[in-house]
Amino acid sequence: MQILVVEDEDAIADPLGEGLRREGFEVTRVGTGAGALEAPIPDLVLLDLRLPDLDGTEVCRRLRARSDVPIIIVSAKGEEIDRVVGLELGADDYVVKPFGFRELLARIRAVMRRVRPEEGDDVLRAGRLEVDVRARRASVGQLELELTPKEFALLTLLAGDSGAVVTRERILREVWDTDWFGSSKTIDVHVASLRRKLGDARWIETVRGVGLRLAPQP
């Protein structure tokens, strides 16, 4: 998968590019809006708004006018009006700097699943864990896991955002199909069961007051 990084600051672009390459992406970096418009259409664009030649919103508008390439705006401009304008111009997501790399990675994967579901991940991998969404099977190494439907749905959600914190509210909404934000003890019960079946409690980390994070173990 080819990602075009449109960012003029080396201190941001260089480590970002290195991180994406470690995750298996092919990365092209340009530092200007003109460079972004001249580059071959990639599979996804990470677009900064503050560029030395063109405003990033204009770059977004021109890219969208000629292509349906997924665009994630990555900008220090975090006001609501900035996000609204970016999304109305056709961006698929908006990430405010500073950001965590794992969060951005989760956003990239989520956007690709949403805009190109036929190219979405049928098999999610995180370390030795493999979750086959279509076949509804999960395994750690050679060990296939015997999961209940809710356990499988919870593990799939965490594996889809591996390394990123998934809030309890989102878990309730997507796994239990509810927006109720009261006691979430039922999540704890399923997490305890999943930890036992994964064979190591460290696979699922609890981030106190926020949610859960999948932490692949060797």
What pLDDT digit, counting tens, does each position of 40-91 carry?
999 999 999 999 999 999 999 999 999 989 999 998 887 888 888 888 888 9
Last residue of a domain, one of 66, 98, 119: 119
103 plus 166 within the same structural domain:
no
Range of the domain at 199: 123-214
18 plus 88 within the same structural domain:
yes
Collapsing DSSP to helix, strand or coil, 26 comes out as strand
Q: What is the pTM of this model?
A: 0.57
Other beta carbons less than 10 A from residue 132's beta carbon: 14
Q: What's 28's domain CATH number? A: 3.40.50.2300
Cβ neighbours of residue 162 closer than 8 Å, sequence gap 6 or more: 102, 106, 124, 126, 214, 216
Last residue of a domain, one of 99, 119, 139: 119
Q: Which amino acid is at 134?
A: R
N residues, the chain: 218
* 8 Å CB contact between 3 and 30: no
Question: What is residue 7's predicted lDDT score, i.e. its pLDDT?
Answer: 96
23 plus 107 within the same structural domain:
yes
38 plus 77 within the same structural domain:
yes
**5 - beta bridge partners?**
29, 46
Last residue of a domain, one of 119, 148, 166: 119
**How far, in whole angstroms, is CA 216 from its chain's centroid?**
16
